[in-house]
Structure 1
Amino acid sequence: MPRTASPARRSRLIRCAVAFAVLTALAGYLAVQYDSGSKNPPRCVVVGSDGDGRTSHTYEMSLAQAVNAATISAVGTTRGMPERAVTIALATALQESTLRNIDYGDRDSLGLFQQRPSQGWGTPAQLMDPVYSAGEFYDHLAEVPGYSRLPLTVAAQRVQRSGFPQAYAKHEPDAALLAAALTGREPAALNCTPSTATADGPGDASRVRTELVRAFGEDVLPAAKAAGASASATVSVPVPVAAAPSGDEGAPRRGWELAHWAVAQSEALRIGRVSYADRVWEAGRGWRTERAKGMETDAASVRIRVVQ
Structure 2
Amino acid sequence: MKVSFARWLPAITPQQTSSQQTSSRQASREQASRRRAEVGAYRLGDQVRIAGRQVAEHAAGAARTTRQAVARVDGESVRRLAARTGLRKGALLVAGLAFVGGVAAGPGVLDAPAPSAAAPAPQAAPVAPAAPAAPAANDDGGNSSDDGAAPKMEQLIPYGTQGAQSSTPISPEQLDNARTIVHTARKMGLPERAAVIGVATSLQESKLNNLGHLGAQNDHDSLGLFQQRPSSGWGTPEQVTNPEYASRAFFDGLERVHGWQDMPLTDAAQSVQVSAYPFAYAQWEQQAADIVRSVDAGH
TM-score, length-scaled by structure 2: 0.42
Larger radius of gyration: 2
Q: Structure 1 or 2: larger helix share? A: 2
TM-score, length-scaled by structure 1: 0.41
